[in-house]
């Protein structure tokens, strides 16, 4: 059915159930399908040649527009809060207030740096960000078959939009909900627009009023792509889900997190920097 599922990076707890879902997705066809995806470390790469790739926040943090003092403070926040974000021994409910703290502090620091809207494109161009191998095929296929792609990101919307624009894949079927910057009349960053999206509130609570999923109520087949345990709730606002396939990229602390990921995601991709499996499944379905 899908030869890519034989890759060494693929782990599946219930293979028969997964094959059943994939068969149903194919039977329902492309007109019923929508893809809901996280951005950072899911559509973008986690690492390359042993080096970490930046998140949309990191792209700003590492850029020339941030002062040395600002860089240090942002790095300190990352070193304190990131281990909490991925700690398999804490529940999402325990992590939630700490993530609000992290995002709030980081956005305050960024808002003090007089970042100019007009500098964003250059900042992204000069960064080390990379989309996962196979991103072209993924975006092109979804566009070709008119399958909606909803990118639900706790990153920085202005940055991630610029990344996919520069990659020439920001097609009309792509919709983004994320944290967007609010600039003053001179194009200088003042603050971030609400509601704040962090790793563990990616659910209906921040989508109220966007009506996105209501318009797509006939799209009852879903492929969900994520890399964090917080990404699992991204489809909660879809009114009538008939088939959902959850694919999780397990990037970091693989051994420690394997059990939880296998319980929660239908397909787990361990240290796999490609979109091969997603593309293989789409090739079979579309």
Interaction site with Mg ion (CB under 5 A): 38, 40-41, 227
CB 60 within 8 A of CB 110: yes
According to CB under 6 A, which one of 4, 38, 266, 276 is a site residue for ligand TMP?
A: 38
3-state secondary structure of 271: coil
Q: Known catalytic residue: 38?
A: yes
Residue number with CB closer to ligand TMP (155 or 237): 155
Q: Is 106 in the site for ligand TMP (CB under 6 A)?
A: yes
Q: Known catalytic residue: 276?
A: no
The site map against ligand TMP for 40-69 (x = CB under 6 A) is xx-------------x-xx-----------
Nearest Cα to 202, choosing from 173, 179, 223? 179
Active-site entry in 40, 158, 266, 272: 40
CB of residue 191 vs ligand TMP: minimum separation in angstroms? 14
Residue number with CB closer to Mg ion (113 or 178): 178
Q: Is 257 in the site for ligand TMP (CB under 6 A)?
A: no
CB 5 within 8 A of CB 20: no
Nearest Cα to 30, choosing from 137, 175, 147? 147
3-state secondary structure of 96: helix
Sequence-distant (6+) residues with CB within 8 A of 206 are 177, 195, 196, 197
CB 127 within 8 A of CB 54: yes
CB of residue 230 vs ligand TMP: minimum separation in angstroms? 7
Q: Is 181 in the site for ligand TMP (CB under 6 A)?
A: no
Binding partner of 58, given ligand TMP, Mg ion, none, CB within 5-8 angstroms per partner class: ligand TMP
């Amino acid at each position: 059915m899908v030869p890519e599922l034989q890759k060494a990076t693929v782990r599946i707890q219930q293979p028969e159930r997964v094959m059943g879902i994939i068969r149903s997705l194919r039977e329902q066809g492309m007109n019923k399908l929508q893809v809901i995806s996280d951005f950072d470390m899911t559509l973008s790469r986690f690492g390359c040649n042993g080096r970490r790739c930046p998140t949309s926040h990191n792209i700003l943090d590492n850029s020339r527009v941030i002062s040395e003092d600002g860089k240090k403070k942002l790095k300190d926040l990352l070193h304190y809060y990131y281990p909490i974000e991925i700690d398999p021994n804490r529940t999402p409910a325990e992590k939630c207030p700490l993530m609000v703290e992290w995002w709030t502090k980081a956005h305050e620091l960024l808002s003090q740096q007089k970042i100019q809207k007009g500098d964003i494109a250059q900042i992204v161009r000069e960064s080390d960000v990379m989309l996962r191998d196979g991103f072209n095929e993924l975006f092109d296929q979804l566009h070709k078959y008119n399958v909606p792609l909803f990118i639900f990101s706790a990153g920085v919307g202005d940055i991630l939009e610029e990344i996919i624009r520069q990659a020439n894949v920001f097609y009309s079927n792509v919709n983004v909900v994320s944290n967007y910057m609010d600039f003053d009349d001179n194009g200088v960053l003042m603050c971030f627009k609400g509601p704040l999206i962090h790793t563990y509130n990616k659910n209906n609570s921040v989508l109220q009023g966007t009506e996105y999923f209501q318009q797509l109520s006939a799209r009852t087949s879903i492929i969900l792509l994520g890399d964090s345990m917080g990404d699992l709730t991204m489809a909660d606002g879809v009114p009538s889900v008939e088939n959902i396939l959850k694919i999780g990229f397990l990037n970091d602390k693989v051994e420690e997190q394997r059990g939880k990921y296998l319980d929660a995601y239908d397909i787990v991709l361990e240290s796999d920097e490609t979109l091969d499996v997603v593309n293989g499944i789409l090739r079979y379905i579309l």
